[in-house]
Structure 1
Amino acid sequence: MNAVRDEPVGTGSTTETGYERPRDPVEIWLARQWQRILGFGVGIRENFFGLGGNSLDAARVIDAILVEFGVQLPLNVVTEHPTVEGLAAVLRDGDERPSGPLIAIQDGDGTRTPLFLVHPDDGQVGRYCRLANALGEEFAVFGLQAEGLYHDAEPLRTVPSMADAYVSVLRAIHPTGPYLLGGCEIGAAIAYEMAVRLDDVRLVAAIDAELLEPSDTGAESWLREPPPQSQLPEILADWQERGLVPRNAAPEIVARSLRVWQANRDAARDWRPSPYTEPMDVFGRTQNTALPATVVQRAHDCGTEDRLTAALRELIG
């Protein structure tokens, strides 16, 4: 088994060691390839060769890109762009593929039941990357990303419709249980409804979003009054400056993010939970999502992300 670096896990987008988590599906995919090749999780601005990669490892990255994206890149592209962020920019400029809801965050070693984490209100799953890394490379972790973020499809607008769609995707790769589900913000509600629709569910986790990283999109103001189109370039520039989106992110990401965020907030507000009698594990503070009084909630006192990781690992390990 490959070694995992012993790194402290922080609460922001950057840890004390300089780790910065992926922000979109291209960066998540590349970070996963680097973990597979190098043997440990890496941040998007860490140098491939500085971490121990060599020319043979770089060739393996190029081969994986050809298989996944159908793009033949020269070998020296890794030398010229030796970070996940830089290489992702090359791929994004050339051919960013619209991504479906299921995003593989960490491959795992095949010995553990996969953990499926549903997107929070912003629809993105990058917030779960550091948690996956902290759990250890033996754990397979998948994210379920909202529809409509990276293409012009309409976002799903109810919690049950999201649960139906994600259960269908999940069953396509994992037809039978056991299932481990979780999420923060609206993701907790969707995971709950997915559990209603599945057999042999071993975990339904409601995770305090602040344990993963502080919310820092400024999108709460959109709930009161959506910004006019003229402000979207300014919002994109602000997000890029704060490292919330890649430097070459398409301008459309702002409008799409706004639409997805609003759809998710409306869906959470209108959700009427289905009956469910199994316990739900709550990590951190009480969730914003209103759960039925009939649900048994097992509270886990997790004041830090390290304690969240330890509690999750104990439950699913």
Structure 2
Amino acid sequence: MATLPLTPNGKVDRKALPAPRPGDFEADQNYIAPRDVVERKLAALWEDVLGIHPIGVKTSFFDLGGRSLLAARLFMRISRTFGKDLPLATLFHAPTIEQLAHKLRPQATATSYATLVAIQPGGFKPPFFCVHGGAGSALFLHRLAREMGPDQPFYGIEPEGLDGKRFQRTTVEQMAAHYLAEIRKIQPEGPYYIGGYCFGGLTAFEMARQLRRQGQQVAVVALFSASLRFYRAAQKQMPAAAVAPKSRTALTRLMRLVRSPRQTIGWRVVSWTRTLQTKVRRNTIRLFLALGLPVPQALRTMYVTRMLSQAEENYAPGRYDGTLILFRGQGLYENDPDMGWDGLADNFENYEIGDGGLLSRRDIMNEPLVGLLAKQLSACLERARDVGASSCRETKFDRSVAASSSKASAMPVIETAG
């Protein structure tokens, strides 16, 4: 593009940006062709799934614009082709065709599904541990880990169930205790720096509470787009206009049917079909688990998501005697800026990322906003290391604007323009 599209106020209009094309991720100039049968089969799968041709055996999946959904599709194809079930997290230490081929050769040892995933194990700073989102995989965290720099060790945490086996820990409290046990194998004592995305924010919060009860120091608890949807300490009153009476909803449906019966009936058929498909898949999952068999790979994300959703619905958070740091996209939560966390911690800090125009809560974890998120998170970690606490209220950023808070305790909202 010769110029970037702008909004009326002069900011980049991300909604008007064109979608990336396969040509935008062409293989680098140091192209090395596949050299044996395994690499050739892998290359064909990569090129088909990513829509890029050719792909050299030394080119990273992440450099090609690979994302979690594409990785899931790729690994299902790999499982069918090679008969081996590899975790998506394998891409962290085997991101190229050459490296992944070593995992698929007949003499290769089986790769296990680990709870703690070393996304970036090197570095001299205290490690940061980040809990998975509602779908389970921690693969999307690679961008944030990369932006944090090579000096910051970064570990992702993944749940049970990704291997298709039955969940042994079904509550947030049990998951938090298990994750802490894994973390303490690497870092036996605090201070701890932990965080979580979406559902992972709840788990990180509970982990911090358990660490406090064990007498451990928690330096940072970072919540990324983590909304507390149930059991809020301060229930938010919804505007009357936002709650439509059932009679009005029924009338709207009837009027829609009268105006365009064919389209309305078509929508209903699609809805019923999807509902039926969901029921069939859920029953298939139950059947496999009842028989003691692993859930098929194509159904594992659904299984994990459902189990995590049930855990979220049953979790009633207690109070945390420390500081919570919330990072959220600007413009997505204007009617719920604290996302339910106000009243649950001694101190609460709220940071906005971006300049508006976001499409989803995941946007802050992706380009171009993930760099801004990493900058603010790094500053919070640095301040916590320097002063032995998790406050970063005085952090300064280029083009940052401090906004007032609704709390008397002066919880800052920092808006960082993109």
Q: Does the pair score TM above 0.5?
A: yes
8 A Cα contact 1:182 1:207, kept in partner: yes
- Give the residue type in structure 1 aligned to 2:111: R
Alignment-mate amino acid for residue 279 of structure 1? T
Which structure would you say has the larger Rg? Answer: 2
Equivalent residue for 1:310?
Answer: 375
Unaligned runs of 5+ in 1: 1-9, 21-44, 52-81, 210-220, 233-249
CA shift digits 1:71-130 (9 cap, x unpaired): xxxxxxxxxxx9624642551465542212111100222x20100000100111111111
Query: SS state of the match for residue 279, structure 1?
Result: strand
Cα distance per residue 1:46-87 (max 9 Å; x no partner): 756579xxxxxxxxxxxxxxxxxxxxxxxxxxxxxx962464
| 1:200 maps onto 2:229 in alignment | no
Letter in 2 for 1:116: F
Q: Normalising to structure 2: TM-score of the pair?
A: 0.47
Q: C-alpha displacement at 1:293, in angstroms?
A: 1.8
In structure 2, distance between residues paired with 1:223 and 1:291:
33
Give the whole-Å Cα distance in 2 for the aligned partners of 1:268 and 1:230.
Answer: 19
Say which SS state the counterpart of residue 169 (structure 1) adopts: helix
Aligned amino acid, residue 116 of structure 2: L
Identity over aligned residues, as a percent?
23
Cα RMSD (Å): 3.9
Q: Deviations over 1:243-285 (max 9, x none)?
A: xxxxxxx992222221111011111121111221211000114
Counterpart among 116, 138, 144 of residue 125 in structure 1: 138
Classify 1:166/1:251 alpha carbon distance in 2 versus 1 (closer, same or farther; 3 Å).
closer
CA distance in 1: counterparts of 2:275 and 2:169, whole angstroms:
17
Higher RCO (C-alpha under 8 Å, 6+ residues apart):
1
User: Does the Cα contact within 8 Å between 2:325 and 2:349 map onto a contact in 1?
Assistant: yes
Structure 2 residue 123 is the aligned partner of structure 1 residue 106: no
1:273/1:15 Cα in 2 relative to 1: closer, same or farther (>3 Å)? farther
Candidates 168, 187, 194, aligned match of 1:181: 194
Query: In the alignment, what sits opposite 2:302?
Result: 258
Distance 2:202 2:26 in 1: 30
Residue in structure 2 matched with residue 291 of structure 1 by the alignment: 341
Measure, in 1, the Cα distance between the counterparts of 2:159 and 2:20.
21
Q: Do the aligned partners of residues 229 and 174 (structure 1) sit closer, same or farther apart at CA in structure 2, a change above 3 Å counting?
A: same
User: Contact (CA 8 Å) 2:129, 2:154: kept in 1 or not?
Assistant: yes
Partner of 2:174: 161
Classify 1:17/1:87 alpha carbon distance in 2 versus 1 (closer, same or farther; 3 Å): same
Residue pair 1:159, 1:268 contacting (<8 A) in 2 also? yes
- State the SS of the aligned residue for 1:160: helix
What SS is found at the alignment partner of 2:133? coil
In structure 2, relative to structure 1, the CA distance for the partners of 1:49 and 1:167 (3 Å cut) is closer
- Please tell me whether the aligned partners of residues 194 and 222 of structure 2 are also in contact (alpha carbons under 8 angstroms): yes
Deviation track 1:113-151 (CA, whole Å, cap 9, x = no partner) reads: 100000100111111111101111111000110111024
Distance in 2 between residues matched to 1:264 and 1:288, nearest whole Å: 22
Q: Equivalents in 2 of 1:157, 1:135: separation in Å?
A: 32
Matched, 1:91 2:141: no
